Structure 1
Amino acid sequence: MKHFLCAKLSCVLLFLLTSTAGFGQTRYEKIAIYDKIWGFLKYHHPSVARGIVDWDSVYVHDIDKMQNASVSKLNKMLITTIDNLGPIPQNKPRPTVDTLFKLNHNLGWIANSKYISHQLQNKLKEIYVYRNQGANKYIKQNYEAADYSGEKKYQNMILPNEQYRLLFLARFWNAINYFAPYKYLIGEDWNNVLTRFIPKLINTKDILSYYRAMLQLTVALNDGHAQFSFEDGDNTSINNLVFGKYTAPVYAKIVDNTVIITKLVNDTLTHKARLQKGDIVLSIDNSPVGVRMKQFRAYVSGSNNASRNHYLSWVLFNTPKAYQKLKIKRGVRIMDVKVKCILPSQRDWRDLTEYQSNATGYKTVGNSIAYVYAAQIWSGNLDTIKNLIRSKKAVIFDVRNYPQNDAFYNIFGMFLPNPKSIDYSLLMIPDNPGYFTWKQSAKMGEINKTPYKGQVIVLADERNQSQGEYSVMCFQTIPGAVTIGSQTAGADGVKIGIPVGGKMVISYSSYGVYYTNKTPTQRRGVKIDIYVKKTVESVIRSDDLVLARALSYLKSKGID
């Protein structure tokens, strides 16, 4: 009898657990459907798009009822919500032309969802046919970028309650769904991202778990421009809470999952701790670096592994403690050291790109080669640099950095015989959500009867992002130019933030940048003609393999 009762009780408990899990999953699916319909109406229904209805308030008021309703009741409430918006003007929009970019447009969920009745489907289809044309309160185009200034900011809402957390998720998800040019390159079905993060946002209980969930949501974009931060771009307080407010006084590089110290920030502290440039870090605070990298990578954005590792190295040593224990390897020796930490603000972000702030920006290498460090091209030295280049058989443009000013672009004219377009932009269309239009860039340069005829070499790697990658693309238009290096960050287009409450935004690449043959650079990076892979040994020795390969290439052409 006892065994029978135990077995029966186990069955009951199993039934309750599976029933609860099933109920939870159904609840999340209903929230997802409501989020999609709410977002669809936001950008398509004229009464909502024009701001006649406070659409955020509708969401916050209805979300609890919608998620707890039966499927039949859910449909009735949604139909009532649509009917309450009033009749739709029967004005068909202009036809969608074949030249538009269509890979991001997907409304298949309307017809394929088991939660949407035929009656509701027909209403949504009618709204799409007679969708809003002209101005939209919630989205507009500012130059080429998306503009979300019409959204309510809820600036005092530092830790939103559940309804507002779900609102901000719905706002962000729909903005990306309809207006992110690279949605098709994210690498995960965007519908799955919504259902994956609904329970994460529901189950956040404090500011730390909320920040972690929002960082993970940001990472899901697989975009080097993606950042969860305050409106001014500052994410210090977020990083301090999630990763720790102190850091070891070092810079590091990650190569083949090996962490190598590349620079010391504070000689006094690092000398006392016996740290040296070139040390391999095996563990941080008793955690193997492989484990720590996996933990931290969940909260670090990047378009590709090279980009993500680049930014991971910036926070990898963060800690809540004033001292940090490191296990390091130097040659064959393995040592345990303890180092006093500094504040992250005591490091210069430009050192992350090995920015040469004291460099003149140009020099002669060998007898016939001009070397130009692109970040140090200024209006004051532009003519000197041009004269140096003209006197040499070859020029190496080291673009492994971020341009510091617009004077950088004034150098291209000396290489091009005629003005030339650099790229195509892919721009969202506010009144045709999900579709994008192509725009060819303005031509750079001028008619030049005596363009430079020497060999042009361009150096690039993961430190090139956004404008840094665009700079490489500009140099690549020079006839015969050769690009040497490794995969760049793959994040292109102006960085724009979507407000998510508490003076915070999630940023993303808001318009697309493509080569003139419409090949994307997002995630994959710019084209590399000669690939050079860094090695652990080369980083330890501070060898510049990319520059060395450029010089050997020129030597093979008889230039040295």
Structure 2
Amino acid sequence: MKKVVIIFLLVFSQTIFGLGSITQTEKLAATCKVWGFLKYYHPKIASGELNWDNQLLEKLPLIEKAQTKEEFSLILENWIDDLGTVKEVAPIVLSKDVKFFDKNFDLSWFNDKLFSKKLSKKLKFIEENRFQSNEEFGPSFDCFKNLKNYFNLDYTDKNTKLLMLYAYWNVVEYYFPYKYVMDQRWDKTLNEILPSVVQSNTPEDFYKVLRKTAAKLDDSHVEFHIYPSSATAKKSFYYFPATGKVIDKKLVITEILGDSLAEADNIKIGTVITKINNRSIREIIEEKRDMISASNEAAFLDKVLRSILVSESEKVNVEFMNDGKCETKEMTWFNYHDSHRNEFKKGAQKKKDKFKLLDHNIGYVNMGVIKPKNVPDMIDALKLTKAIVFDMRNYPNGTFEEIAAFLNSKEKEFCQYTMPYLNYPGRYEWTEGRKCGTENKENYKGKVIVLLNEDSISQSEWTAMCFQTAGNTTIIGSQTAGADGNVFEFDFSGFHTGFSGIGVYYPDGRETQRVGIVPDIEVKPTIKGIKEGRDEVLERALLYIETGK
């Protein structure tokens, strides 16, 4: 009797499964996952024996015609069977020396309601008998598996656009170390953007969808550059002759890039802009929010400025705030490639001190200017000071090693990494951390102050972690960009993008991605301070040096 009941239930469940309808988006999302999994796990595909991209393009028309879950699963089952027998090598023994980091790892979708039990079992079998690579992770590692770019694709073809999306989605799925800290689950993003990819009618429409997809990584390292095309080549771009910061949803000028151009419209340090072309700065910011990837709000507001201060029109209406009153001017913005180019460059490249001695025997080092060859002179000049301020509100030039040897009395670990475990794609392993400093009884004995803000990204944050090992280090400023480590970069047909490639953590496992380097003393510039020409962050550092508070 039990046997009869079991057979009945089995037949009934398969009948119900077969009757289930399936949407195009469901099919395409599931196909994306299966295609990407096989790309990295199936021995014949991962080894590069097959042109896996072409196989996808051949199968997509069949998948589009599938009307039920049963038909859909059967197509995928037959596809896997056509690849040939996977040799059973399980159990694959994992080294006891490997300490896994698995917050990113999730293959639970094998049991998706869209899949037959037979298909789910095939996928699990391939996982257990997956491709084993002799490759070591390093700068030359190819996430795309023998296909380094997608330059020659036709983005007017629906299936070609899907191929591009699938390639990008899966490289993030398996090789983005911070997938687990995204605001939105990556598979949800896939389901959301698939209809837009299918419906995009021009390359520009498609790029816009991909840019929105990249923004979902919530990673300040992510950039999205569109290559010039026949459509974009005809466009001219015009720029505001200064740059600034967003404070209280207003744009405050902090640096003049073209002196005479700014003077013509009475633009000064501290000038407050409230509207551009009759739209408030707040409105413009919100409009661009889904197009920019940033680890946190501070980094987003910093990155969004690049798009606020550029226009496709030479004439721009700008509303300024002067003495509490609003004033609108029609400004002429300037093309960097015209006769004003040199003036913009000159304004942006004003000479800055590498290091100097401030009042009260306090040293100051501009980490964005000083280079390794300058470090010995800096040490000689500042070694007897009572404190040194390392201004890292910029991007350093690889000086961490020499300076850390000066600051530390002995070698210390300052960070550890998670790296892709190539024989189990999607999993990461903890690796030996990075050390800095050396045995040095003559190390610096004064206070070490590091200034940081939203301009501090990647090497800035990493160097700050290094300097924290000195033990007498105080971080002053505001939240950093929250994107540490190297960058994986990818070239596609029409655009270039990338993302953070390895995980960076403190030795005790504390996260830096999205969090950034947390200041011991938080201080941010104010509109009042900027107008007065003050550096309030540096002022706070000097106060701390003198008072200890």
> Structure 2 length as normaliser, TM-score?
0.89
1:108 and 2:108 matched: yes
Structure 1 residues 436-447: aligned runs within 5 Å:
436-447=428-439
2:464 match: secondary structure: helix
**Of residues 216, 221, 225 in structure 1, which corresponds to 2:221?**
225
- Is it true that 1:403 corresponds to 2:396 in the alignment? yes
Between the aligned partners of 1:246 and 1:328, the Cα distance in structure 2 is: 19
Instruction: Map 1:185-334 to 2 at 5 A.
Output: 185-229=181-225, 245-334=237-326
Distance in 1 between residues matched to 2:502 and 2:281, nearest whole Å: 36
Counterpart amino acid of 2:474?
Answer: V
| Deviation readout 1:496-516 (Å, 9 max, x if unpaired) | 1234334x3320001111111
- Name the CA shift for 1:448/1:275 in 2 (closer, same or farther; >3 Å): closer
CA contact (8 A) 1:250 1:261 kept: yes
Check 1:243–1:301 CA distance in 2 against 1; reply closer, same or farther (3 A cut): farther
Equivalent residue, structure 2, for 1:164: 160
Amino acid at match of 2:28: I
User: One-letter code of the match for 1:472?
Assistant: A
The answer for the alignment partner of 1:359 in structure 2 is 352
CA spacing shift, 1:425–1:242, aligned 2, 3 Å:
farther
TM superposition shift of 1:300: 1.9
Structure 2 equivalent of residue 4 of structure 1:
none
Three-state SS of the structure 2 residue aligned to 1:283 is: strand
**What amino acid sits opposite 2:188 in the alignment?**
N
Q: Which moved more, 1:219-228 or 1:151-160?
A: 151-160
Aligned partners of 1:325 and 1:523: how far apart in 2?
35
Change beyond 3 A, Cα 1:402–1:212: same
Aligned identity (percent) is: 28
- Partners of 1:123 and 1:163 in 2: how far apart? 25
Q: How does 1:409-558 map to 2 (within 5 A)?
A: 409-502=401-494, 504-557=495-548
Number of positions where the alignment pairs a residue of Structure 1 with one of Structure 2: 523
User: Which residue of 318, 330, 333 maps to 1:341?
Assistant: 333
Q: Find the counterpart in structure 1 of residue 9 from structure 2.
A: none
Q: Which amino acid aligns with 2:473?
A: A
Counterparts in 2 of 1:551 and 1:446: CA distance versus 1, 3 Å: same
1:263 to 1:236, Cα distance in 2 relative to 1, 3 A:
farther
1:397 partner amino acid? F
Q: Which runs of 5+ in 2 are unaligned?
A: 1-19
Alignment match, 2:72? 74
CA contact (8 A) 1:146 1:510 kept: no
Q: Tell me, in whole angstroms, the C-alpha distance in 2 between the residues paired with 1:89 and 1:465.
A: 46
Q: Measure the CA separation in 2 of the matches of 1:145 and 1:239.
A: 34
Aligned to 1:7: none
Aligned to 1:50: 47
Deviation at 1:251, TM superposition (A): 0.9
**Does the 8 A contact of 2:48 with 2:146 survive in 1?**
no
Give the 3-state SS of the residue equivalent to 1:169 in structure 2.
helix
Any stretches of 5+ residues in structure 1 without a counterpart? 1-21
Once the two structures are TM-superposed, the CA of residue 147 in structure 1 deviates from its matched residue by 4.5
Tell me the equivalent position of 2:81.
Answer: 83
Describe the shift of the 1:399–1:459 C-alpha distance in structure 2 as closer, same or farther (beyond 3 A).
Answer: same
Equivalent residue letter for 1:402 = Y
SS at structure 2 position matched to 1:325? strand
Distance in 2, matches of 1:314 and 1:410, equals 34
Residue equivalent to 2:10: none
Kindly provide the amino acid, as one letter, of the partner of residue 81 in structure 2.
D
Distance in 2 of aligned mates of 1:524 and 1:242 = 41
Q: Which amino acid aligns with 1:76?
A: L
Distance apart, 1:151 and its partner CA: 1.6
Relative distance call for 1:429 and 1:499 in structure 2 (3 A) is farther
The equivalent residue for 2:3 is: none
In 1, the alpha carbon distance for the partners of 2:514 and 2:521 equals 19
> 1:186-233 CA distances to partner (integer Å, 9 max, x unpaired)?
121111011111112111112332221121111111111112236xxx
SS in 2 for 1:209: helix
Residue 423 of structure 1 contacts residue 514 of structure 1 at CA under 8 Å; is this kept in 2?
yes
Change in CA separation of 1:467 and 1:308 when aligned onto 2, cut-off 3 Å: same
- Contact map agreement 1:246 1:319 (CA 8 A) in 2: yes
Tell me the distance in 2 between the aligned counterparts of 1:240 and 1:490: 32
Closer/same/farther in 2, CA of residues 303 and 243 from structure 1, 3 Å limit: farther
Q: How far did residue 525 of structure 1 move?
A: 0.3
Q: TM (normalized to structure 1)?
A: 0.87
1:384 maps to 2:380? no
**Distance of aligned partners of 1:268 and 1:499 in 2 relative to their CA distance in 1, 3 Å threshold:** closer
Distance 1:505 1:429 in 2: 26
State the SS of the aligned residue for 1:449.
coil
- In the alignment, the residues of structure 2 paired with residue 522 and residue 435 of structure 1 have an alpha-carbon distance, to the nearest angstrom, of 18
Root mean square deviation, CA, Å: 2.8
Matches within 5 A, 1:24-63: 26-63=23-60
Distance in 1, Cα, partners of 2:142 & 2:527: 41
Quick one: structure 1 residues 345 and 200, their matched pair in 2 at CA, closer, same or farther if it must change by over 3 Å?
farther
**SS of the counterpart of 1:375?**
coil
SS in 2 for 1:192: helix
Asked if structure 2 preserves the Cα contact closer than 8 Å seen for 1:27 and 1:68, the reply is: no
Q: Distance in 2 between matches of 1:76 and 1:133?
A: 28
Query: Contact conserved, 1:146 with 1:428, CA < 8 A, in 2?
Result: no
Say which SS state the counterpart of residue 413 (structure 2) adopts.
coil
- Distance in structure 2 (CA, Å) of the matches to 1:318 and 1:483: 34
Relative to 1, partners in 2 of residues 1:331 and 1:440: Cα closer, same or farther, differing over 3 Å? farther
Mapped to 1, the partners of 2:254 and 2:548 lie a distance apart of: 33
Question: Alpha carbons of 1:146 and 1:57: their partners in 2 closer, same or farther (altered >3 Å)?
Answer: closer
